[in-house]
Structure 1
């Protein structure tokens, strides 16, 4: 290459067969049981064993009401809520959403943080999926300060409305009547309308990197767009 030291291989003639994903685990099972088992089967067996020992996701969700009462009893001032859907035919009510905020979180935000909130949703990869919604503040060290979190079925106007209305009730429960001055949106689906209804006087700001990625997903790309987008964001 140009530095007269490095070499670049640009053409390789021949077949390369030694790499690739191995589905067979020959070592442990072959040594102990003299059988060959695919890793995929071992993973399934491991998941079954974990469910037998620690319980499954369905059992965990059924314990949420008991967990809510425990939080309220052992951590006074905390806000814990579980919502169930309407029962269908002979089936019991199913989990719909939940909301949690420990006393130190909401009081720490109201007493020691600026009235600026960031909200976002993250997809859960467990057995029942769903969306984890979070509300965060910024403390005096400019560090992230968690205010509350909840789990809903999907990002929508209804789910964000549930989360933000509960958050506002939480503030009012602590005797706070002032409005949030600004809300930073990390997520865009069904949020803006809900914020206007819940915190009508709050200034809304969108996380630029998230908006930029949304634009790229919808076909806006290229160096010219990238340059102009960030010029507009800085302005």
Structure 2
């Protein structure tokens, strides 16, 4: 078979057969993979999962022709080689398009808890979907207690901001004086508690990630001091209704009292306790004079035990909570999410919701990066509009289907080039680093030294892979922008990456090419790790050669 087949690969989820029909849940999908049927073996599935950050050996594989229903997928399990050959023959004699579903060891091992399977089936039948735009659930106004609450509010519209019930002021249940929060503090509190993204540049090593996480945790202790009870109080203000819902969710997570939320028109929100005998309630609406949402009625009183469930904790909320974790650790499993929620909030969440949330969190990460890539040309245009003398270049690889595949992106600011030429020391450092996100790739950078002996950025580029072609292209762009000629009078410092060495030799043959002492020492200490050898190494490194001035 000399032709190829188009493969859509599903991975990271789990497959199962119920009542004779196949079903696949969770995971990710990679489309438009081209495979030679003569080269398809079982090891391809293991290597594919490993390359895409999914740990665990492949246990089972299902396949179906693209036009077939998923429930009719066939399994490859026992006689793998012959079944794979059979699959390839079926695909090549039909449409040459196949969907493959990979099930790894450890996926779907845990049985559903009592009643969970029924809930999952009902949710699937109803087409439950959450796009994350409004993750906090609003229930229909079918509880008579909502009618009573709204009627009370309507009858007392002239005095809405008066306290109703017990403990309405700052959660005070003793009838003491009500203290209204400082508006400036509330704005600062909202800023601190925002769900901002982590900075987009990735760090280089796992150790640096650990240091980053430790620093974040230490900052959190001091920054979120105000995130203490009471979480809701009378006359508390919010910038929007969404901000109120977020704070209500925080109250549920922190106190473990389950509540349900209902919207009344476009400018009014109310919540009551799930326990029908509980009098807890809160009402928040838009206050036009101050142009903010304000809590106008709050009855803070629970006379029952706390709950281990939270109906507001839906898959959209969980996806948002674990979005950054999914970005840092794409292999996160639904069991990790379930255990983490129990540890953080002492709340139990169903397996199905955790699986859905995991998929949504990963989709958010991938979608965000995909959207950013599509705006790359807009970003380049804005750079040229706002920066005179800007030098950029985007290189793409045309695909058979007419689409463009990203290859390289070069960036050089004129102000950096001019500053380096005017105050330069004739030294340029070249190095590359991996990008640890879903889109992968590497960043290549050229840096110099300023008058204070500090690192001075010159230019950088994003490439798919660090090889002869990418380094040759980058060094050539650098040579043209900086006017380096053949490299006379310049010193290049780098590691011993083969592509980089070849690029400097080809484009800057007259430059002095020296290797970074730290990189050399990292390899050297594997054989000579004793402390006294380290001091000898650096003594040699700092010694100048006779007849050579730095």
Relative to the length of structure 2, the TM-score reads: 0.33
Once the 2 structures are TM-superposed, how far is the Cα of residue 46 of structure 1 from its aligned partner? Answer: 3.9
Which residue in the other structure is 2:503 paired with?
A: 194
> Aligned equivalents of 1:162 and 1:203: distance in 2?
20
> Aligned equivalents of 1:29 and 1:100: distance in 2?
48
> Aligned equivalents of 1:145 and 1:36: distance in 2?
52
Determine which of 7, 14, 25 is the counterpart of 2:341.
25
Which residue in the other structure is 2:349 paired with?
A: 35
1:65 maps onto 2:377 in alignment: yes
Once the 2 structures are TM-superposed, how far is the Cα of residue 140 of structure 1 from its aligned partner? Answer: 0.8
Q: C-alpha offsets along residues 146-179 of structure 1, whole Å, 9 cap, x if unaligned?
A: 000111112211111011001111124xxx7574
1:181 maps onto 2:490 in alignment: yes
Which residue in the other structure is 2:272 paired with?
A: none
CA 1:164 to 1:46, structure 2 compared with 1: closer, same or farther past 3 Å? same
CA 1:35 to 1:222, structure 2 compared with 1: closer, same or farther past 3 Å? closer
Q: C-alpha offsets along residues 175-219 of structure 1, whole Å, 9 cap, x if unaligned?
A: x75745101114523211210111111111111111222345xx6
> Aligned equivalents of 2:469 and 2:430: distance in 1?
15
Determine which of 429, 432, 436 is the counterpart of 1:121.
432
Equivalent position SS for 2:499: coil
> Aligned equivalents of 1:72 and 1:185: distance in 2?
30
> Aligned equivalents of 2:421 and 2:495: distance in 1?
21
Q: Larger radius of gyration, structure 1 or 2?
A: 2
CA 1:227 to 1:149, structure 2 compared with 1: closer, same or farther past 3 Å? same
CA contact (8 A) 1:131 1:152 kept: yes
User: In terms of mean alpha carbon deviation, does 180-189 or 204-213 score higher?
Assistant: 180-189
Equivalent position SS for 2:438: coil
Structure 2: gaps of 5 or more residues: 1-335, 544-550
> Aligned equivalents of 1:149 and 1:139: distance in 2?
17
Correspondences of 1:131-170 after superposition (within 5 Å): 131-170=442-481
Once the 2 structures are TM-superposed, how far is the Cα of residue 112 of structure 1 from its aligned partner? Answer: 1.4
Equivalent position SS for 1:84: strand
1:79 maps onto 2:426 in alignment: no
Structure 1: gaps of 5 or more residues: 1-20
Please give the root-mean-square deviation of Cα atoms over the aligned residues, in Å.
Answer: 3.0
> Aligned equivalents of 1:180 and 1:151: distance in 2?
28
Once the 2 structures are TM-superposed, how far is the Cα of residue 48 of structure 1 from its aligned partner? Answer: 3.8
CA contact (8 A) 1:118 1:186 kept: no
Greater relative contact order, per chain length (Cα 8 Å cut-off, separation 6+):
1
> Aligned equivalents of 1:126 and 1:226: distance in 2?
35
Equivalent position SS for 1:191: helix
> Aligned equivalents of 1:169 and 1:108: distance in 2?
16
User: In terms of mean alpha carbon deviation, does 59-68 or 145-154 score higher?
Assistant: 59-68
Which residue in the other structure is 2:419 paired with?
A: 108
CA 1:37 to 1:29, structure 2 compared with 1: closer, same or farther past 3 Å? farther
User: In terms of mean alpha carbon deviation, does 179-188 or 66-75 score higher?
Assistant: 179-188
Determine which of 220, 227, 231 is the counterpart of 2:527.
220
CA contact (8 A) 2:420 2:458 kept: yes
Equivalent position SS for 1:119: strand
1:233 maps onto 2:541 in alignment: yes
> Aligned equivalents of 1:82 and 1:47: distance in 2?
27
Equivalent position SS for 1:82: strand
Determine which of 391, 394, 399 is the counterpart of 1:88.
399
CA 1:180 to 1:74, structure 2 compared with 1: closer, same or farther past 3 Å? farther
CA 1:111 to 1:43, structure 2 compared with 1: closer, same or farther past 3 Å? farther
Once the 2 structures are TM-superposed, how far is the Cα of residue 130 of structure 1 from its aligned partner? Answer: 0.9
